[in-house]
Structure 1
């Protein structure tokens, strides 16, 4: 006989055990990861993966093409052109500066004076043979008279170059040297050179006149006359140049033209008597000494020249 203990729980029935096992299986099935069935193909081949990568790349490229940031960057060619444009603009601005214009004018003036003196020297050297033929007067070659005849043109040319060079240098300093005595000396030397070159080849003098020979021998003196005549005019034009832009001062100590021209003329006369301003000073020299504008300097220059006439 089995004794029943009231404190011991009753044993489960077979139905309760079956229901518990069923719930346990359902719980384990819900917690377990889904496993792929190797017998069922998924279709994830190499071609599928490659096409998926191409599609993803296309989507990214389409998004990036909408961004204009690369178009805002300067290419090396654009930067080179921009640099050249900025340099050209700065050079143009610098060319308008009065001091730069004055420097350019002085540089061009020196170049023209140098070229003129070189051309004058060559022209006088060209006429040396003609002068020697005139001075030798039929002397035998290598005789003393024939040798000394070669020295006639050089000492004439050197004397002429002294006068022309002095006038050219002083003219480049803004003070034209127009003394009548120097002008007469220049024309005397040039007339002598021209006459000695042309005389043996003139009609009724030459035994066999040839126009081409005459022109060839007077070419040097004619070029010399042209240079001596043109150089003072060119230098005077350079000395009268106004390097200011619309009255823009070219010197830090520039004064406005508020002072009456009469007062500036009186001051220029005083500076001339004291030796601070040379006689026959050019407009540029007066402008720098008085610190006035170029137009006023020209008026003062004309007033000073009227005093001497």
Structure 2
């Protein structure tokens, strides 16, 4: 068997065969995934833009934004820290004032102040009586030898008189806190008797003509204790009675509105219509004051013909009405 020789392909046939093979492979290969676009970096400046151009562009953009925002008044309506602090202080002050007007708070403050005054007054009275103890002891010892029975018992004269005086003063002070003035003539005389004895025994050895060498300084120093005791004994019941008569109702009108007008009407009418409201808020008529005055005189709390000041303190009325009531008692 004989074979015939195969002719060699021409270059054109080789080129067409390679192209056909490539098309076949391209058709059989899987599709390639889409490629992501390449983004320009933000830092990459546009072509021809320098650093100064970028800075100026930012300034212009900022200026436009500020021009739009500055027309908005919202920030001006907000409270600053200083305004809020001041508003908080004002609110606190208003609450404290409102609390101070409450009857319970007024009663609390009154009781607290009254207690402090009573403690200070009784302490001063005790010190004043203790101050005069040495002067009374010198008077009571009458030159007795130191350490002798007379010299020792002389130290007991002022303490037992002071204790008796403190009993009377304490009773008047307590009754004053309850709104009752203990002005019985016997009680008043006993008070002045003890105080007079204390003052006399303190001052006697230092009086002119008694002392070997008179000294005004020594006389005043030895009278200081009794004088302070007399002052406290006199004013303490009056102060406590004024505390007991205080009004603790809330203030609903200006202080000078109603009382002043009532006072003018009362003075214009001659005091015959109605007693103007006093500081204690008790608007009594003159007839009611007369009845109360007769009751106090009958019970012995006031003397038969008391002074105008005693009537005013006991009834807590106007001064001119107290003088009228005093004149009525003197000239019925």
TM bucket, shorter chain: 0.5 to 0.7
1:226 to 219, 222, 231: 231
Could you state the TM-score of these two structures normalised by the residue count of structure 2? 0.62
User: Once structures 1 and 2 are overlaid, which stretch shifts more, 219-228 or 229-238?
Assistant: 229-238
Query: SS of 1:295's equivalent?
Result: coil
TM-aligned CA deviation for residue 301 of structure 1: 6.7
TM-aligned CA deviation for residue 179 of structure 1: 2.4
2:121 to 116, 121, 125: 116
Query: SS of 1:67's equivalent?
Result: coil
Q: Is 1:306 the equivalent of 2:311?
A: no
Q: Where does structure 2 lack aligned partners over 5 or more consecutive residues? A: 1-45, 254-277, 299-332
Q: Distance in 1 between matches of 2:69 and 2:174?
A: 72
Q: Which residue of structure 1 aligns with residue 206 of structure 2?
A: 201
Deviations 1:16-59 (A, max 9, x none): xxxxxxxxxxxxxxxxxxxxxxxxx9421222112211211121
TM-aligned CA deviation for residue 98 of structure 1: 4.1
On the 8 A contact 1:201/1:214 being kept in 2, the answer is: yes
Q: Is 1:244 the equivalent of 2:249?
A: yes
On the 8 A contact 2:178/2:241 being kept in 1, the answer is: no
Aligned in 2, Cα 1:147/1:298: closer, same or farther, shift over 3 Å? farther
Structure number with higher relative contact order (C-alpha < 8 Å, ≥ 6 residues apart): 1
Q: Where does 1:1-309 land on structure 2 (aligned, <5 Å)?
A: 42-244=47-249, 294-296=282-284, 303-307=291-295, 308-309=297-298
Could you state the TM-score of these two structures normalised by the residue count of structure 1? 0.66
Deviations 1:57-107 (A, max 9, x none): 121122222222222222222212111111212222333344433443333
Q: Distance in 1 between matches of 2:76 and 2:146?
A: 85
May I ask how many residue pairs the two structures share in their alignment?
228
TM-aligned CA deviation for residue 298 of structure 1: 9.7
Q: Where does structure 1 lack aligned partners over 5 or more consecutive residues? A: 1-40, 249-282, 288-292
Aligned in 2, Cα 1:230/1:153: closer, same or farther, shift over 3 Å? same
TM-aligned CA deviation for residue 240 of structure 1: 3.1
Query: SS of 2:179's equivalent?
Result: coil
What RMSD, in angstroms, separates the aligned Cα atoms of the two structures?
A: 2.8
On the 8 A contact 1:110/1:172 being kept in 2, the answer is: no
